[in-house]
Amino acid sequence: MPKIVDHEKRKIKIAEATWKVIVDEGIENATVRKIAQACGLSVGALRHYFSSQTELLHFSMGLVSERVIERLKRRKISKDQISLEFLMEGVSEVLPINEERKREMEVWLAFSAKVLVDTKLRELSNKVYKDMHQGFENVVQALKLLNIIKDELDLDLEVNRLHAIVDGMAIHHLLNPEQFTHDKMIETLKYHLQSLCK
Amino acid sequence: MPKIVDHEKRKIKIAEATWKVIVDEGIENATVRKIAQACGLSVGALRHYFSSQTELLHFSMGLVSERVIERLKRRKISKDQISLEFLMEGVSEVLPINEERKREMEVWLAFSAKVLVDTKLRELSNKVYKDMHQGFENVVQALKLLNIIKDELDLDLEVNRLHAIVDGMAIHHLLNPEQFTHDKMIETLKYHLQSLCK
């Protein structure tokens, strides 16, 4: 069914153009008209793929988290190959460590601010929060499987803590890259994960 | 000089109205016209206080951080009265623990997203980052003064970590209050601070 594939591919192209408009001009300027222009479509043609701006933003936001989750899934390896190093790299995948990830995070931050005033986006934001939280739970559980996590730790609270540290650092680096540099971010992450280990 | 006082007071009233517009309708709708309407002024009268939307947003954003810093300063006590409990409460002051603090954080998140595309706001954002970072450094130093902090910790990295955890948790609670509840936020903060202590 090439037509359906094309339709989906085109939607992804439009979502990527949406990210670009959001990053370059701010989410308040991400109008249907501007996004159509950015992908060389008429407003009418764009409406064929997305009937409203909300639907378009919803899809674009969903694509950011899908990409992150896809990247993490691609890293799946057998249990006996898991190491602290491997988990560290996995967590880094959700930090703004390069231009691609920075763009994703910028789009995410713009969306997050919009979630506060747009209840339709909130549901998706909650779903992504849950997915990410599950990812951090997997990391903590893997440390346990490896039998390197300190016995006295409260694993539920460790998941909250890891999730908060990662998102907090991501925002600090994104907004203050000169003060909270890439190297400081990675060093702090390593320090945190090591502090959980025996 | 009552006139100057009135001028400053009026500016603060306008900034507070700006917060309300941002929280209720999103920063993309925080136009000069809408803010003027919200404080019962004409656009011309508002321009008497702020010559541009950027200047108005800059002042409103600055006021959020001033309020937070003021609150923290009011808590100053003598060295021998400082305790882990006192520091815990101090850190809670920058978390969205009640409606007032939630509103501040919401304004802050909206501004943060705008900082990415507005270089004029970036400078202020960097200043606030530094001020807050200094605040967290004070907390870590106080734990050292109390002689309750674990000897093996790297204090610089602990400041990064505490700052990231607090901001990460604030955003998680703000966007996902049902999943990451107020109680979980406070419990995780206590857990973190306790984990630094002997």
What pLDDT digit, counting tens, does each position of A82-134 carry? 899 999 999 998 999 999 899 999 998 888 888 888 877 888 899 999 999 99
Q: Which domain holds residue B150?
A: 68-195
Q: Do B113 and A109 touch (CB under 8 A)?
A: yes
Whether B164 sits inside 8 A of A161 (CB atoms) is no
Same domain assignment for residues A174 and A76: yes
Question: Does residue B87 form part of some domain?
Answer: yes
* Alpha-carbon gap, residue A122 to A125, rounded angstroms: 5
CA distance B5 to chain A (A): 34
Radius of gyration of chain B (CA): 19
Rounded (to 5) percent helix, strand, coil in chain B: 80, 0, 20
User: Which residues on chain A are in Cβ contact (under 8 Å) with B192?
Assistant: 161
Q: Which of A101, A16, A132, A194 is nearest to B171 (CA)?
A: A132
**Per-residue pLDDT tens over the stretch B6-18:** 899 999 999 999 9
Give the pTM. Answer: 0.91
Establish if B59 belongs to a structural domain.
no
CATH number of the domain enclosing A75: 1.10.357.10
**A59 occurs within a structural domain:** no
Q: Which residue of A has its CA nearest to B126?
A: A176
Q: Which of A24, A109, A167 lies at the smallest CB-CB distance from B112?
A: A109
The residue assigned the tokens 């920075």 is A102
Residues near A91 by beta carbon (within 8 Å), at least 6 away in sequence: A136, A139, A162, A166, A189, A193
Distance between CA atoms of residues B176 and B180, nearest Å? 6
Q: Are residues B184 and B126 in the same domain?
A: yes
Chain B residue whose CA is closest to A108: B113
**Do A117 and B26 lie within an 8 Å CB cutoff?**
yes
Residue, of A53 and A177, whose pLDDT is higher: A177
Domain check: are B34 and B129 in the same one? no
Residues A108 and A135 in one domain: yes
Gap between the Cα atoms of B177 and B171, Å rounded: 9
Q: Which percentage of chain A shows pLDDT scores above 90?
A: 65
Looking at the structure, tell me whether residues A69 and A126 fall in a common domain: yes
Residues A145 and A79 in one domain: yes
CATH of the domain at B16: 1.10.10
Q: Are B79 and B176 part of one and the same domain? A: yes
Distance CA A164, CA A160 (A): 6
Does the beta-carbon distance from A154 to B113 stay under 8 Å?
no
Q: In chain A, which residue ranges form alpha helices assigned H by DSSP?
A: 2-25, 32-38, 43-49, 53-74, 84-92, 99-115, 119-145, 155-175, 182-195
Interface test with A, best of B167, B182, B198 (most A CBs within 10 A): B167
Structural domain includes residue B75? yes
**The pLDDT of residue B170 is above 60:** yes
